[in-house]
Amino acid sequence: MLDVEHLLMLLNFNLQTKRLELVCNNAGVLFVGATSHLRLNELGNLSLPNPSFRHLVLQTEGFESFAETPIFTIQVTRFKCGGFSIGFVTNHSILDGRSAAEMFENLASICRGEGMKTHELNIDRSCIRARDPPQIKFKHTEYTKLAEATSLASSFTSPIQPPTSTTLTGLLPDHEFRMFSFNPDMIRCLKEKAMTKCSSFEAIVAHIWRARTKAIFDNLDEISSVLFAVDIRSRMSPPLPQGFSGNAVITASASAKVADLGEKPFSFCVEMVKEAIERVTDEYVRSGIDWLEVYKGMPSTLNGNFFLSAWWKLPFYELDFGYGKPLYGGPVAGGMGEFVLLLSSGNDMGKRGGVNVWIALEKDKMERFSCHVFEI
């Protein structure tokens, strides 16, 4: 049963400037109250991304035009056991992970009767707009020109379909989904194996990139790439203002020959990832923004490349809407084979500091990946 209150915050496409505009109409967001005849424990393992969760968020498909499509939806679902879920759908054009997390924290604080947690809010996007004229100074191979990618299928060119299956195999029939857990000791071993000072993120990205490359590439002369988002707030000159709320991330990528990733020491993979992050300077970011303005590109996740999305440091497991912390706080399982998710190990104190890797691969390649991923 659904009770829908039509309150929409929308995006509009300005034909003159050819840019998206946020329609500030004070109309609120699309909110749904739902009830389920199931108990929470009937959904399966609540500690993992679950295809059943797709029914717990209000999808934005089915609207007649882009101008009518909401950019933010909330669905509260009550279960037979008395538990409930809160599902959000947001638009990455408006909020990146950090901004969305801050918004959810404020919303949770208001629900607890404690008011806004963050009082400093800066929504001026002019600090990251494209330059006129554009000044593209780098190749930006992390992106593919939209004109060249429209005939190719990826999660960036194909809209996510509404839920039609409650099984993972129904989302990607030829793929297998698995979660691989890395505890703090395993991450420490990876950092020691790197033979250079590196962050946990850099070590994990390098390790997953190497293992996945070994699993899916047969031609040693091919190029394998890993892409990931980098927060640009502190990398700009001057830094973005305190309290900036928006999409302040840019795609970075590391690329190498398949043979090099397999034969050279792990330190090589780590250095490639570190160099990709270090490239993200103020000038590189501004060049990338100009490139995207000119070519309207998308991340290059084609030809076996993949995008690693890090959710593990986002405080979703700390959200308390007045009823305690959640059993699960994270993304809904989707049919996106070229995405790898880094997820929090949850509220289990024994696993704090660890990370869960959620990945989808074709079944034979998953077996190969499973062999390589624990080569630590």
| Residues 228-271: tens digit of each pLDDT | 999 999 999 999 999 999 999 999 999 999 999 999 999 999 99
Query: What are the catalytic residues?
Result: 92, 320
Higher-pLDDT residue of 20, 78: 78
* Cβ atoms of 281 and 235 closer than 8 Å: yes
- pTM (predicted TM-score): 0.88
Higher pLDDT, 149 or 218: 218
CA distance 142 to 252: 6
Query: Under 8 Å CB-to-CB from 10, ≥6 apart: which residues?
Result: 22, 23, 25, 67, 68, 69, 70, 71
* Contact partners, residue 146, CB within 8 Å, separation at least 6: 295, 296, 297, 298
pLDDT on residue 120: 80
Per-residue pLDDT of 112-156, as tens digits, reads 999 988 778 888 888 999 999 999 999 999 999 987 765 554 555
Sheet holding 249-257, edge to edge: 175-182, 355-362, 339-344, 306-310, 223-231, 249-257
Report percent pLDDT > 70 for the chain: 86
Length of the chain: 376
Coil vs helix vs strand at 104:
helix
Stretch 8-35: mean pLDDT: 79
What are the backbone angles phi and psi of residue 222, rounded to the nearest 5°? -70, 160
Rounded Cα distance, 195 and 221, in Å: 26
- Rounded distance, CA 213 to CA 224, Å? 7
User: What ranges do the domains of the chain cover?
Assistant: 137-373
Q: Please name the fold of domain 137-373.
A: Chloramphenicol Acetyltransferase (3.30.559)
